[in-house]
Structure 1
Amino acid sequence: MGIDNHDEHLALIAALPDLVFVLTESGRYAAVFGGQSNELYHQEHALVGRNLFDVLPHEKAQWFSDRILQTLTENKLMVFDYSLSGEDVDTLENQSGPEGLLRFEGRVTPFPTNRYGERAVIWVARNITERYQLEKQLIYHSEVDVLSKTFNRRKLFEQLEKSFYTFQRYQERYSFILVDIDDFKLINDKYGHHCGDKAIQHIASTCLSILRRSDILGRLGGDEFAIIHKVTDKDSAYVLAERLRNTISQLVIDPDCCNMKLSISVGISQFNSNDYTIDQIYKRADVALYVSKQKGKNCISLN
């Protein structure tokens, strides 16, 4: 006895490596196919007949529902990236698939008929967790300074450009703060580059512990850091710089390396309406930093 075309099609779909859902406009799981690999997917066939809002946290269910409506409204293939774990789905036994938060690419297209009693979409879910994690690592290494774990020079100036645009477009006020480790050459020459590295790491971690989430820290290179500070009042940049200077002046590099005390010199420039490039902002801060060095270090200057 032969297999009819419908059964053959179902067998082919069931053998697909990726999970295939038929989801209706109301959020009902009308059918689930494929995704037989336990290494990549949880076995989700128990979802059939259930509703998104019955098995997922409300916020996630609403996100999926919105994407279904968007696809039906656009009436074309849509592609969405999203994260989901087995713990998010009430009907699953977590032992049936991979652990932790997974990343998926959903390729969603309108179902061509009303076979399931209402409009529906075909949602093909592909596990892209490994690719996603690799991309995150590549982005991290392209943006972060390895030694200090702060933004590198390229990323810092990219952020400075964005802040400058925001300043010009929305009149939000910013300051640019240059921070230079005092006597860094002496630290390297007298105690070795290992202690110089320790000094850089100490300065970076101290700054990160004090800065607000809206502040951006990056290492320009060598012993120099920069902060993009979103101004809260006319003195906020100076107050922040003084807090950094005072905190760092009470630290030693590393008791196991050397007991030499750390200090910083600081130069501050404000974004102003006459600026037309970020170079002007940087140069004013650099001049202010030079003044701090000339005044004997461990101090703050504004320009």
Structure 2
Amino acid sequence: MPDANLFTASQYAAICDSLPDPAFILTESGRYAAILGGKDKRYYHDGSSLIGQRIAQVLAPAKAQWFLQQIHAALSSQQMLVVEYELSARDVLGLPDEGPEHAIWFEGRISALAHLYDGEKAVLWVASNITASKQLQQLLQRQAMGDELTGLHNRRSFMQAMSQAYAAFQRDGTSACLVSFDVDGFKAINDGLGHPMGDQALRDLAHAAQQVATAQDLVCRLGGDEFVILSLGRSMADTMLFAQQLLHCGRQALVPYATAGSVPTLSIGIAHFSEHDTSVEDIMRRVDQAMYISKTQGGHQVSAADSKVA
């Protein structure tokens, strides 16, 4: 191999300038001292105009503060720091409001430099665009945690959230409840109208449930026509009101799927987390029992644990 000392200063500059990913020299105070590379124009714009500016002049305050924290952390540890971060139009000062809304994801590799730049400590920050791999990762996660038919959370997502909610209830007493429901006479829809119509009925019901739910509710499809909502922070009275709204909206959503003159309805069960529950399974067993009471009483009603609510 050739001796590295054979490279001239201009050759070194050409090599650095040819790097596909941009490498920023950022000082301790947050000044752009130099920018190298970034020649892959599929992902990067010319950043030469940043030289001499400070991060606070380029990025929104919260994002600029985060960048400074990473610089200081790398200088303090004297070890390479690897971080992932996103930048969107709202993070960059001076961009027009009609700029792209989607965020661009980067992996930053930050290393402290041995020499001072204009009397300041500095780091080398190499930014690699990882948007494509991040989007794929997020897609795979949605597919793993989402119900393909309705777009709701699936059983895996529900069980994960349920475990977290139960842990919070045990630790802090954070109130939570389950609202479980299925469709009375769903088989008649499949048999009388066909399975494609049955699938559409489930989509419409899922949409109706999302319409009455709030940000504190996790709406899930467990399978078939079985749904459950994990609700946080509602009192018993509020949960009853919510369940009645769900009962009404669910029936309205299922009107187009009436067979033999009978509109499908919902059987709903409610179970609040209780100090007597020893596991997640205890809560799920109680809400299933409550829903079963609604079903055996003729459907289109709400039952809470051991007591029916008309």
User: By the TM > 0.5 criterion, same fold?
Assistant: yes
Does structure 1 residue 233 correspond to structure 2 residue 228? no
Are the aligned partners of 1:191 and 1:258 in contact in 2 as well (CA < 8 Å)? no
Partner residue, 1:282: 284
Q: Decide whether aligned partners of structure 1 residues 182 and 58 sit closer, same or farther in structure 2, where only a CA change above 3 A counts.
A: same
Which one is further off, 55-64 or 222-231? 55-64
Does structure 1 residue 83 correspond to structure 2 residue 86? yes
Are the aligned partners of 1:23 and 1:122 in contact in 2 as well (CA < 8 Å)? yes
Are the aligned partners of 2:208 and 2:253 in contact in 1 as well (CA < 8 Å)? no
Aligned length: 298
Are the aligned partners of 1:231 and 1:237 in contact in 2 as well (CA < 8 Å)? no
| Shift, 1:253, TM fit | 4.6
Q: Decide whether aligned partners of structure 1 residues 14 and 211 sit closer, same or farther in structure 2, where only a CA change above 3 A counts.
A: same
Does structure 1 residue 220 correspond to structure 2 residue 222? yes
Structure 2 residue identity aligned to 1:82: Y
Structure 2 length-normalised TM: 0.89
What do the CA deviations read for 1:125-178 (whole angstroms, capped 9, x no partner)?
001111111111111111100111101111111111111011111110111111
Paired-residue identity, %:
34
Matches within 5 A, 1:1-303: 5-85=8-88, 88-89=91-92, 100-254=102-256, 261-303=263-305
What do the CA deviations read for 1:262-301 (whole angstroms, capped 9, x no partner)?
4211011111112221111111111111110011000011
Are the aligned partners of 1:55 and 1:89 in contact in 2 as well (CA < 8 Å)? yes
Distance 1:257 1:296 in 2: 17
Distance 2:37 2:94 in 1: 17
Structure 1, unpaired ranges of 5+:
none
Distance 1:256 1:243 in 2: 20
- What SS does the aligned partner of 1:206 have? helix
Q: Decide whether aligned partners of structure 1 residues 90 and 168 sit closer, same or farther in structure 2, where only a CA change above 3 A counts.
A: closer
Distance 2:258 2:26 in 1: 62
- What SS does the aligned partner of 2:182 have? strand
Q: Decide whether aligned partners of structure 1 residues 218 and 100 sit closer, same or farther in structure 2, where only a CA change above 3 A counts.
A: closer
Please report the RMSD computed on the Cα atoms of aligned residues, expressed in angstroms. 2.5
- What SS does the aligned partner of 1:33 have? strand
Are the aligned partners of 1:199 and 1:262 in contact in 2 as well (CA < 8 Å)? no
- What SS does the aligned partner of 1:249 have? helix
Distance 1:100 1:290 in 2: 45
Q: Decide whether aligned partners of structure 1 residues 300 and 92 sit closer, same or farther in structure 2, where only a CA change above 3 A counts.
A: closer
- What SS does the aligned partner of 2:222 have? strand
- What SS does the aligned partner of 2:276 have? coil
Distance 1:129 1:258 in 2: 52
Structure 1 residue identity aligned to 2:267: S
Which one is further off, 49-58 or 219-228? 49-58
Are the aligned partners of 2:82 and 2:110 in contact in 1 as well (CA < 8 Å)? yes
Are the aligned partners of 1:20 and 1:125 in contact in 2 as well (CA < 8 Å)? yes
Distance 2:123 2:76 in 1: 11
Structure 1 length-normalised TM: 0.91
Which one is further off, 108-117 or 263-272? 108-117
